[in-house]
Amino acid sequence: MSLLMLGAVASVTQGAMAIPAKKSLLALIDAAIGSNAADLANYQRAVIVELRLPRTLLALLVGAILAQCGAAMQGMFRNPLADPGIIGVSSGSAVGAVLAIFLSPPELAWWIVPLGAFAAGFGTSVLIYQLARGSTGTSVFILLLAGIAISALAGAFIGFISYIADDARLRDLSLWQMGSLASADSGRLWILAAAFALIAWRLQRSANGLNALLLGEAEARHLGIDVEQLKRELVLLVALGVGLAVSAAGVIGFIGLVVPHFVRMLTGPNHTTLLPLAALGGALLLLLADIGARLFLAPAELPVGILTALLGAPFFLVLLLQQRQRA
């Protein structure tokens, strides 16, 4: 928690425009109580209050949601490779969001885009679950192959939409696909905050069911868990979380893969502690990645999805090698 608070302070006080950290924090107090203790110009105050603060909050919410969804999927499939990005849920949500961006008028995009991303993410989650499900349980091999196929199909569809889009929409689509937190606003923050509260509450109530699933579906049923009901609920929650996160920040991969696995190595597989710690870890990791994205090429900005991919892809390869050695 202390690291998260330090990261949030760094995110608000650091950026391409140099503003003293003390005055940056005072500007937040001024905005809350209506004072003028920071003594900053209006444009400097706007940078702190209207750009950096919403962006920081968006990074916290998106990172926490993606990490918790990743932990839930890994528990449901009993495999640490089951990240929403790897198995195609993020790509499916991206298709819904891109289609909504392309077809909807800009004044309606704020609610059509999240709805499209959620609907496509939910459909993709159900499709993947049905494809991987068999008489002996869930096949991880089919799960990964289905994810590859769906990601390729989604990439082709998004490429087609980008090809026929005009220049203005093409630029928006290109930046959005690489992941960015620059579009943070109060509407998105309220929607994501409500979604995070719902997802965190329901997943925490499902922690014992996820722990039972680690023993196997048959064993979970013997312990009194309604496995099919639990899986339907988890798929719905993951689709909601990933869909809204993708619609707000674009495709940001590997948060749901890296963070739950790292937390599991530190604290063990108990979902009662894994889920909340994964949320904290995901928020911190995306916050640090966004700070790096803003400072690395300042005053230009690097899409944050590129940084998370640079971190997550080698981690994923290490996971694959570990799986191979255990096989």
* Structure confidence by residue, pLDDT tens digits, 270-319: 889 999 999 999 999 888 888 888 888 777 777 787 888 887 777 777 77
- Token duo for residue 118: 């959620």
Strand partners, 138: 133
Question: Both ends of the chain: CA-CA distance in Å?
Answer: 37
Closest CA to 87 of 202, 198, 242, 267: 242
- Cα–Cα dist 124/286, whole Å: 24
Burial code (b: 16+ CB inside 10 Å, e: under 16) for 248-279 equals bbbbbbbbbbbbbbbbbeeeebebeebbbbbb
* Structure confidence by residue, pLDDT tens digits, 17-33: 777 878 888 888 877 77
Contacts of 240 (CB under 8 A, 6+ apart): 118, 121, 122, 195, 198, 199
Q: What is the pLDDT of residue 198?
A: 93
Peptide bond into 299 cis (omega under 30): yes
Q: What is the pLDDT of residue 164?
A: 82
Strand partners, 137: 134
Strand partners, 134: 137
By mean pLDDT, which of 175-189, 190-204, 247-261 is the weakest?
175-189
Q: What is the mean pLDDT of residues 130-158?
A: 76
Complete DSSP assignment for 109-122 = HHHHHHHHHHHHHH
- Cα–Cα dist 60/193, whole Å: 10
- Token duo for residue 168: 């203005």
Structure confidence at residue 139 as a pLDDT band (50, 70, 90): low
Contacts of 204 (CB under 8 A, 6+ apart): 272, 275, 276
Q: What is the mean pLDDT of residues 118-133?
A: 78
- Token duo for residue 65: 């949601």
Residue with tokens 């990005």: 85
Q: What is the pLDDT of residue 289?
A: 87
Q: What is the pLDDT of residue 201?
A: 94
Complete DSSP assignment for 273-302 = HHHHHHHHHHHHHHHHHHHHHHHTTTTS--
Q: What is the pLDDT of residue 60?
A: 92
Q: What is the pLDDT of residue 230?
A: 85
Contacts of 261 (CB under 8 A, 6+ apart): 74, 80, 315, 319
Q: What is the mean pLDDT of residues 40-61?
A: 86
Closest CA to 256 of 113, 147, 145, 101: 147
* Structure confidence by residue, pLDDT tens digits, 210-267: 888 888 877 888 888 888 788 878 877 887 888 788 878 877 877 888 888 888 888 8
* Structure confidence by residue, pLDDT tens digits, 288-301: 888 888 888 777 77
Contacts of 116 (CB under 8 A, 6+ apart): 96, 97, 99, 100, 247
Burial code (b: 16+ CB inside 10 Å, e: under 16) for 197-224 equals eebbeebeebbbbbbbbeeebeebeeee
Q: What is the mean pLDDT of residues 200-209?
A: 90
Q: What is the pLDDT of residue 135?
A: 67
Q: What is the pLDDT of residue 324?
A: 67
Q: Does 197 have pLDDT greater than 80? A: yes
